[in-house]
Amino acid sequence: MTGGPRIAVIGGGPGGLYAAALLKRLDPARQITLYEKNAADVTFGFGVVLSDETLGGIEHADPVVYAALRDEFVRWDDIDIVHRGQVHTSGGHGFSALSRKRLLAVLHERCRELGVTLRFGTRAPSAAELSAGHDLVIAADGVHSETRDAFAADFRPQLTEHHCRYVWLAADFALDAFRFEIAETEHGVAQLHAYPYAPDASTVIVELREEVWRATGLDRMDEDACADYCAKLFPETLAGRRLRGNNSQWTAFRTVVNDSWVRGNVVLVGDAAHTAHFSIGSGTKLAVEDALALAACVEEHEDLPTALAAYEAERRPVVVSTQRAARASLEWFEDLPTYVDQPAHQFAFNLLTRSRRVTHDNLRLRDPEFVRAVEQAADVPEGTPPMFTPFRLGGLTLTNRIVVSAMDMYSAQDGVPGDFHLVHLGSRALGGAGLVMTEMVCVSAEGRITPGCTGLWNARQAESWRRITDFVHAQSPGTAIGVQLGHSGRKGSTRLMWEGIDDPLPDGNWPLVAPSALPYRPGVSQLPREADRAQLRTIRERFRGAAHRAAEAGFDLLELHCAHGYLLSGFLSPLTNHRTDRYGGDLAGRLRFPLEVLDAVREVWPAERALTVRISATDWAEGGTSGQDALDIAAAFAAHGVDAVDVSTGQVVSDERPAYGRSYQTPYADRVRNAVGVPVIAVGALSSWDDVNSLILAGRADLCALARPHLYDPHWTLHAAAEQGYQGPGARWPLPYQAGSRKPPTGRTEAPKPRLTL
């Protein structure tokens, strides 16, 4: 091969063009050809948004491109939210946008100047052909990537189509803010996302759920009729002004995820590799950043396989984080009908914090007046973080919104809690949480998960629990203590967690019962027996007896454990309940036994004490509990008298595939709260007080349960108060600890610095 390395780029969007320009600039000897099937002046959409971080990267990587773009940007700081005739404005956000056509023109010019061969109106040869004749093939061919499809066995894509339809339009005037407007029509809710991209133009995206889109007839309108109809939907923003299209088509957003972005010398960038919903404005940003990272890695590493591996390793964590935020934002807008009745200020705050990237604390830094207005509307006293406001749960008033989540300790003897449990639960009660939960307390010996699990099936156990509740009530009067009652079902008779989680005992196993004779881990776990009617009656009475002992032991709250694949959870999921009698079949049948148990517990649990239930709102597995199932399950438990639903997810089947990430389970609690109207406890990778404040103020949760943070720091709640400068009634320091209520200095770094210059 003569000359420098041969590189083919498939796709003439910003990612492909920028990659070509950077690679050519770094090594002029490279022979780079870019193929774009459309003509050079054909583009879709109108404006693109880039962050200051991305612009800084462009400036550093290619000052010529940055200089050409710098004066083209429209910049603004505000976000306007228009809902039911009210406009709420939040400032301090900082956006930059420009015409997509102008961005492409700048990149075209730069590529030609550097000597990149641009072939517009030319379909690229097949990826296999290009791969054979080039050193590197960059597939920047978009969400419908033919390259990705051709090598699907290597890239292993997962494509998810979502429930809304959207269209890109434009208005011939410049907005002065990023604008959201909500329209409530006779057919359902529609939303507008709009922003300026030129001194005389704005991008306008209109989005509706699929069923609303069809009911309005938009699916049958041509482009002009569609633009006219949409313009009339949003009078506050458009004020009678027209919208126009650009070959604008209604589209269902598709999330693209690939297990790998590299196949030999072929690499995916931009939408071919990953997509992020337009509501967080990251599509072009991600593509440009991909191009920059790819060019840098190719330059930094001598061999291509190492360079491509480095590119993917560098970019994947960034993309995963962005996609997680985009998915949260996308789902928030899909569920918009459940939020439209929120109070106006709360609705605006909820919209702004929907992706979980913007939080209470950083929004307070951007626009303190806006956040204070939201807090005042929610009756949050001045100087009080939302997490330290009280909450009434049935007859129980909690001093703050923090719950120490139920965590199995596997440290009991014959089901009896000992000194370890006294210290463990007592120290966390002294740590300031509004509610401290026990681990799952088993209603019978055969209902234990492991030999180390606690119980409430006899008087000795109840007496030991009384010792713990007495300590909490005497030494931490601002904290309530709750008991979680459960039965292991098919997940019982296993080793202690640190000896092999979910592994059967090597000897001394006890027989298991479950809704159906299905082992938790096929080929590993013990095969349970399908519980017959007599066994179900016995189990129900065991729950009743344990609840009675829990009341005598002094617990303030009782939670029925119907989650995580244990016995009652096993009845609820279609993956674990294959019964053909009245306790199986449809959801009403699957709910029957858990509701019978709840009713039995209610009969003996004091009416003035709180009663909750924990559910798994999804099984993270195909064919499992659906989103509607979760809402119906929560509604059924609420109808039978629970004061709140503790919304967890998963652990029902061993082959689950959870979408782990920061606060990844909280959207499920959010949906239950706002669709069913029942108070909820949110759980799931919550770790910061900022997350808690955001969830509470946005109306996505009433209480927040944290597990691992309380293992790391038993006084997490009091420390959160100290870090926020709060010393009110929502965070009561025990008298012996009050001297520690201020964060101590950490050393000389906090001392005044000497003056060393004039």
Q: Which residues, at least 6 apart from 757, have a Cβ–Cβ distance to it below 8 Å?
A: none
Q: Which residues, at least 6 apart from 202, have a Cβ–Cβ distance to it below 8 Å?
A: 47, 170, 171, 173, 174, 175, 194, 195, 196
Q: Tell me the pLDDT tens digit for each residue of 406-435.
A: 999 999 999 999 999 999 999 999 999 999
Residues in the chain: 758
| pLDDT > 70 fraction of the chain, expressed in percent and rounded | 98
Q: Is the pLDDT of residue 62 over 90?
A: no
- Of the listed ranges 92-106, 385-399, 567-581, the one predicted with least confidence: 92-106
Q: Is the pLDDT of residue 1 over 50?
A: no
Q: What is the pLDDT at residue 758?
A: 46
Q: What is the pLDDT at residue 557?
A: 98
Q: Is 660 considered catalytic here?
A: no
Radius of gyration of the chain (CA): 29
Distance (Å, rounded) from C-alpha 345 to C-alpha 354? 14
DSSP letter string over 234-264? -HHHHTT---B-SS---EEEEEEEES-SEET
| Per-residue H/E/C for 655-685 | CCCCCCCCCCCHHHHHHHHHHHCCCEEECCC
Q: Tell me the pLDDT tens digit for each residue of 263-288.
A: 999 999 999 999 999 998 778 889 99
Q: Is the pLDDT of residue 3 over 60?
A: yes
Q: Is the pLDDT of residue 614 over 60?
A: yes
pLDDT tier for residue 399 given thresholds of 50, 70 and 90? very high
| Per-residue H/E/C for 396-413 | EEECCCEEECCCCCCCCE
Task: Decide the pairing of beta strands 644-648 and 610-616.
Answer: parallel
CA–chain centroid gap for 396, Å, is 30
Q: What is the DSSP letter of 583?
A: T
Question: How distant, in Å, are the alpha carbons of 25, 55, 130, 288, 459 from that of 31?
Answer: 11, 27, 13, 21, 82
- Which residue blocks in 301-418 are alpha helix, DSSP H? 304-334, 344-352, 360-366, 368-377
Q: What is the pLDDT at residue 231?
A: 95
Question: How distant, in Å, are the alpha carbons of 264, 337, 356, 371, 750 from that of 671?
Answer: 43, 11, 15, 23, 44
Q: What is the mean pLDDT of the chain?
A: 94
SS3 content of the chain, % helix, strand, coil (to 5): 40, 20, 40
Q: What is the pLDDT at residue 43?
A: 77
H helix and E strand count, the chain: 26, 28
- On whether the CB atoms of residues 509 and 493 are closer than 8 A, the answer is yes
Q: Which residue has the tokens 């379909």?
A: 123
pLDDT tier for residue 628 given thresholds of 50, 70 and 90? very high
Q: Tell me the pLDDT tens digit for each residue of 560-609.
A: 999 999 999 999 999 999 999 999 999 999 999 999 999 999 999 999 99
Distance (Å, rounded) from C-alpha 427 to C-alpha 420? 10
Q: What is the pLDDT at residue 412?
A: 96
pLDDT tier for residue 45 given thresholds of 50, 70 and 90? confident
Q: What is the pLDDT at residue 748?
A: 56
Distance (Å, rounded) from C-alpha 35 to C-alpha 37? 7
CATH number belonging to the domain at 6-334, selected among 3.50.50.60, 3.40.50.11540, 1.10.10.60, 2.40.30.40: 3.50.50.60
Give the mean pLDDT of 671-700: 95
Distance (Å, rounded) from C-alpha 495 to C-alpha 474? 35
Q: Which residue type occupies 341?
A: D
Strand partners, 159: 256
SS3 category, 79: strand
Q: Is the pLDDT of residue 403 over 90?
A: yes
Write down the CATH number for the domain with range 388-740.
3.20.20.70
Q: Tell me the pLDDT tens digit for each residue of 697-751.
A: 999 999 999 999 999 999 999 999 999 999 999 999 998 888 888 877 766 555 5
Q: Which of 566, 664, 668, 726 is catalytic?
A: 566
Give the mean pLDDT of 21-31: 96
Q: Is the pLDDT of residue 541 over 90?
A: yes
Give the mean pLDDT of 244-272: 95
pLDDT tier for residue 510 given thresholds of 50, 70 and 90? very high
Distance (Å, rounded) from C-alpha 566 to C-alpha 652? 8
pTM: 0.91
Give the mean pLDDT of 429-452: 97
Q: What are phi and psi of 64, to 5 degrees?
A: -65, -45
- On whether the CB atoms of residues 717 and 734 are closer than 8 A, the answer is no
pLDDT tier for residue 25 given thresholds of 50, 70 and 90? very high
pLDDT tier for residue 69 given thresholds of 50, 70 and 90? confident
Domain extents in the chain: 6-334, 388-740
